Amino acid sequence: MKLKKILSLVLAGVMALSVTGCVNQHPEETSSTNESSEIRLVATSPAVAQICNRLNLDLVGICQSTSELPERYDGVTTVGMAMNPDLEIIKSLDPDYILSPATLQNDLQPKYASIGVSSLFLNLKSVEGMYASIEGLGKKFGREEEAAVMLEEFDSFMTEFAEKNAGKESPKVLVLMGLPGSYIIATDNSYVGSLVKLAGGTNVIYAPKVGADGAETAVTSRTALTLDCKLTPKLFFQAAAQLGAMNADTLGDSYVAIIHPYAAYDLKTSKEWIEVHKYADPEAMYRGEIGKLGNIRFIETSEAKIWKDETCPANGDGYYAVFGTLVLGAHAYGVTELEGGGLEHIVKQLGYGDDPLNQRASVGWKGMRAAERLVEQYMVRIESLSSYSATAAAN
């Protein structure tokens, strides 16, 4: 029951916070040295509080939540909601560490630093990540035995679950989380997606096995892909339908697919393929564009993702390369502009720095540019093998 309680609270946190990714704990706070039992901790999410309870850690501050919190923390000062903790209250508690989900690190870490309090961010991105964080907390705060008990529970649960579902067919699953005004797709890189994977489901589009007679056999994992699992036009019609169902806008009149030349080789032999010279408006072609299929335009680039590791199908002593093709709608990602905060014009007058004789002055500029995934449901990834899978290298 305790294991299920933590799992369910992490799931609730994912749905409430629209979790799409996370990072490891704050690197400067990962010392393996055990901290004193008098350590003062603040937990800013229900899942983190449940983990602290199982590790027998006392708290001086805890998040405000409608979820049931451990009884041991009754009467502990509340510090606001997980996404917007009250910094003044936290500062007044004089904590040694604030414990928060890593999915909120980019937003919360600068705020914690502004009040001079160290922070640790727990990786709750997946079930495996959660237990890795539990092990790390156990080592840091001298709770190795409590952490070991939780990890043993996890191993027992995984073994029992795997045995219970051995031999059962894995269904294809699409997890949609409803939020005010939108929906979020839970990918296999999210906590919810890892639960689906644990339960034998999948929400990734894998190229099916296509027999000589054209019959298709569904594939439900990357390792199950074979050399018969190549890109087909049908996969892109499926991806376009999924984007349309999510109300993803097109870029101009089409969605855009980012495809590796090796994967494109197999696709371009299809009779449905429309070559670039058949475009009604060739001057509007994208740089590197090679053709169109339905309402999807294709951009060929060697930067398209290739995996070739233990997650891929075996090929003797090695592995076959698996190709990832991204199909994007408008607003799937965004980039910063060089204007405004991303661009700074710097002028240094004569005498700045080590220049007692006023011999030097300088003028220059610097800028930052970044890309960020904005809306996960506006992009679809298709994984497949290619005629080049035996020889292609990972990138």
Instruction: Examine the pLDDT at 319 and tell me if it is beyond 90.
Output: yes
Q: Is residue 6 part of a domain?
A: yes
Nearest partner of 125 among 15, 12, 14, 5, judged by Cα: 14
Q: Is residue 37 part of a domain?
A: yes
What pLDDT shows up at residue 275? 53
Give the three-state DSSP class for 298: strand
Last residue of a domain, one of 111, 134, 165: 165
What pLDDT shows up at residue 201? 53
| pLDDT (tens digit per residue) in 65-95 | 877 889 999 999 999 988 889 999 999 999 9
What pLDDT shows up at residue 16? 39
What pLDDT shows up at residue 312? 92
Indicate whether 245 and 339 sit together in one domain: no
Indicate whether 152 and 215 sit together in one domain: no
How large is the greatest C-alpha to C-alpha distance in the chain, in angstroms?
85
| pLDDT (tens digit per residue) in 190-238 | 555 655 555 555 557 889 998 888 788 888 788 889 999 999 888 998 8
Residue 43 belongs to domain with CATH number:
3.40.50.1980
Last residue of a domain, one of 105, 136, 165: 165
What pLDDT shows up at residue 124? 77
Q: Is residue 294 part of a domain?
A: yes
Query: Distance (Å, rounded) from C-alpha 157 to C-alpha 249?
Result: 42
Residue 272 belongs to domain with CATH number:
3.30.2320
Model confidence band, residue 338 (pLDDT cutoffs 50, 70, 90): low
What pLDDT shows up at residue 58? 94
Indicate whether 346 and 380 sit together in one domain: no
Nearest partner of 259 among 302, 212, 308, judged by Cα: 302
Instruction: Examine the pLDDT at 119 and tell me if it is beyond 80.
Output: yes
Which range in 2-6, 94-98, 200-204 is most confidently predicted, on average pLDDT? 94-98
Token pair recorded at residue 147 = 């952490």
Its domain, for residue 310, covers 204-332+374-384
Q: Is residue 150 part of a domain?
A: yes
| pLDDT (tens digit per residue) in 13-71 | 443 333 333 334 343 444 444 554 589 999 998 889 989 999 999 999 999 887 788 99
Looking at per-residue pLDDT, the higher value among 117 and 365 belongs to 117
Indicate whether 138 and 6 sit together in one domain: yes
Burial of residue 110, with CB atoms counted within 10 A of its CB: 0-12 exposed, 13-18 middle, 19 or more buried: exposed
What pLDDT shows up at residue 277? 45
Looking at per-residue pLDDT, the higher value among 23 and 318 belongs to 318
**Which value, in Å, is the radius of gyration of the alpha carbons in the chain?**
25
Indicate whether 226 and 318 sit together in one domain: yes
Q: Is residue 19 part of a domain?
A: yes
Which pairing describes strands 362-367 and 274-275: parallel, antiparallel, or unpaired?
unpaired
Token pair recorded at residue 94 = 């004089």
Query: Distance (Å, rounded) from C-alpha 9 to C-alpha 289?
Result: 45
Per the prediction, the chain carries an average pLDDT of 78
**Structural domain count of the chain:** 3
Instruction: Examine the pLDDT at 247 and tell me if it is beyond 80.
Output: yes
Indicate whether 347 and 296 sit together in one domain: no
Q: Are the beta carbons of 209 and 237 closer than 8 angstroms?
A: no
Angle at 178 between CA 177 and CA 180, to 5 degrees: 140
Nearest partner of 140 among 35, 262, 293, judged by Cα: 35
CB-based contacts of 153, cutoff 8 Å, min separation 6 = 2, 3
pTM recorded for the entire structure: 0.47
Could you say which DSSP state residue 305 is in? -
Q: Is residue 191 part of a domain?
A: no
Indicate whether 72 and 140 sit together in one domain: yes
Lowest mean pLDDT among 224-233, 250-259, 371-380: 371-380
Query: Distance (Å, rounded) from C-alpha 304 to C-alpha 287?
Result: 15
Instruction: Examine the pLDDT at 378 and tell me if it is beyond 90.
Output: no
Q: Are the beta carbons of 219 and 211 closer than 8 angstroms?
A: no
Instruction: Examine the pLDDT at 266 and tell me if it is beyond 60.
Output: yes
Q: Is residue 195 part of a domain?
A: no
Indicate whether 28 and 109 sit together in one domain: yes
What pLDDT shows up at residue 7? 47
What pLDDT shows up at residue 370? 65
Q: Strand pairing partners for 323? A: 306, 384
Instruction: Examine the pLDDT at 179 and tell me if it is beyond 60.
Output: no
Percentage of the chain modeled with pLDDT above 70: 69
| pLDDT (tens digit per residue) in 355-375 | 888 888 888 877 766 666 677
Model confidence band, residue 276 (pLDDT cutoffs 50, 70, 90): very low
Model confidence band, residue 387 (pLDDT cutoffs 50, 70, 90): very high
Indicate whether 248 and 318 sit together in one domain: yes
Indicate whether 40 and 120 sit together in one domain: yes
Please report, in angstroms and rounded to a whole number, the separation of the first and last CA atoms in the chain: 43
Token pair recorded at residue 309 = 């590791």
Percentage of the chain modeled with pLDDT above 90: 28
Q: Is residue 183 part of a domain?
A: no
Looking at per-residue pLDDT, the higher value among 246 and 147 belongs to 147
What pLDDT shows up at residue 14? 41
Q: How crowded is residue 122: how many other Cβ atoms within 10 Å of its Cβ? A: 28
Indicate whether 225 and 94 sit together in one domain: no
With the CA atoms of 30, 34, 36 and 39 taken in that order, what torsion angle do they form, in degrees rounded to the nearest 10?
Answer: 30
Indicate whether 215 and 157 sit together in one domain: no
With the CA atoms of 287, 248, 21 and 181 taken in that order, what torsion angle do they form, in degrees rounded to the nearest 10?
Answer: 150
